[in-house]
Structure 1
Amino acid sequence: MDTPKSKKIEVITPAYRMHSQSFMNVLEGISEEDALKRIENKTNHIVWMAGNFVNMRYSLGWVLGLKDEDPYSELFFQGKALNETKKYPSLEELKKNFHEISPKIYQRLLEVTDEELEEIFEIGMNIPYVKETKLNFAGMCIGREDYLCGQIGLMRKILDYPGMKYDVDETLKY
């Protein structure tokens, strides 16, 4: 198991890796056609959910000092509302972006220092009990990824796919 430089980030790194597994597992077998379906025009589609997940990864990378840009940021940044007049990327494109950015972020998570994590990063949420630091942003990203995987898992069931498996791909090191 990898040991991060920062003791503060030790709780984040296992969750980050587990979310990588969950992301791949929850998308397993979903067709591109089904990934664009909405329920009674009330839900986001799976592509939007997956795109927002990948965008969270890019955002975390940016906060940790990476300069990689999400090619679909204009569709997903800060949970931007689904716009049915826009063309969304395929699940395969999103998975490709996921695999490009995720190992870079994982490496940064291992290298980041406590001092860097305590740096102020203003999110603009104005929640009195949330100190807006890079560490808390990383935690919020983990929470958002949990939420999105849960939403995709629910959509799997609604669209008559089997529930997500919790298989672990040991070659996925991020």
Structure 2
Amino acid sequence: MDTPKSSKLAVIIPAYRMHTQSFLNVLEGLSEADAMKRIDGRTNHITWMAGNFVNVRYGIAHVLGLPEEDPYHDLFYMGKTLDEHFSYPSLDKLKESFHTISPKVYQSLLEVQEEQLAEIFRINMNIPFVREDKLNFIGMCIGRQDYLCGQMALMRRLLHYPAMKYDTDENITY
């Protein structure tokens, strides 16, 4: 396992890598048509959830100072509400974007210094017990990705796909 320069990321690094595996596993075998389905017109579709997941990775990139831009930022930033009138990117396009940003973020997570993690980063959630700094923002992003994978896994089952597997591909090192 890679060792981060900041010991504060000792929990984040394995979670980040597991989310990489889970993201790919949860999308495995889904058709584009099924990925756009909603349940009773009330749920987000898997494509939206996958796009929001990738956008969260771009959010981590931003807080770590990477100059990367999410090509689908306007569709997913801050969990923007799903709009059925929008033309969402395909799962393949989202996976391509995912594979572009994820290794860069991973490398930055390994290299970030504790001083940078302690820097104030306003997210304006006004939660009295959460200090708005870069470390907590990254932690909240990890939580968001966990949530989205769970939602996509549930949607898989509701769409009559097999349950998400927890297989890992050791060739993916981010």
TM score, norm. by length of structure 2: 0.99
Following the alignment from structure 1 to structure 2, what is the Cα–Cα distance between the partners of residues 166 and 173? 16
Q: Deviations over 1:82-122 (max 9, x none)?
A: 01111000000000000000000000000000000000000
Following the alignment from structure 2 to structure 1, what is the Cα–Cα distance between the partners of residues 26 and 86? 24
Q: Deviations over 1:14-39 (max 9, x none)?
A: 00000000000000000000000000
5 Å-filtered alignment, 1:18-97, equals 18-97=18-97
Following the alignment from structure 1 to structure 2, what is the Cα–Cα distance between the partners of residues 35 and 3? 36
CA shift at 1:53, angstroms?
0.1
Following the alignment from structure 2 to structure 1, what is the Cα–Cα distance between the partners of residues 60 and 111? 14
Say what the alpha-carbon RMSD is for the aligned residues: 0.4
5 Å-filtered alignment, 1:147-162, equals 147-162=147-162
Q: 1:53 corresponds to which letter in structure 2?
A: F
Identity of aligned residues (%): 67
| 1:171 and 2:166 are equivalent in the alignment | no
Q: 2:168 corresponds to which letter in structure 1?
A: V
Aligned length: 174
Q: 1:29 corresponds to which letter in structure 2?
A: G
Q: 2:77 corresponds to which letter in structure 1?
A: F
Following the alignment from structure 2 to structure 1, what is the Cα–Cα distance between the partners of residues 155 and 57? 21
Q: 2:149 corresponds to which letter in structure 1?
A: C
Give the corresponding residue for 1:113.
113
Q: 1:170 corresponds to which letter in structure 2?
A: E
Following the alignment from structure 1 to structure 2, what is the Cα–Cα distance between the partners of residues 89 and 67? 22
TM score, norm. by length of structure 1: 0.99
Q: 1:116 corresponds to which letter in structure 2?
A: Q
Give the corresponding residue for 1:104.
104
| 1:122 and 2:114 are equivalent in the alignment | no
Q: Runs ≥4 in structure 1, deviation > 6 angstroms?
A: none
Q: 1:102 corresponds to which letter in structure 2?
A: S
Following the alignment from structure 2 to structure 1, what is the Cα–Cα distance between the partners of residues 48 and 159? 16
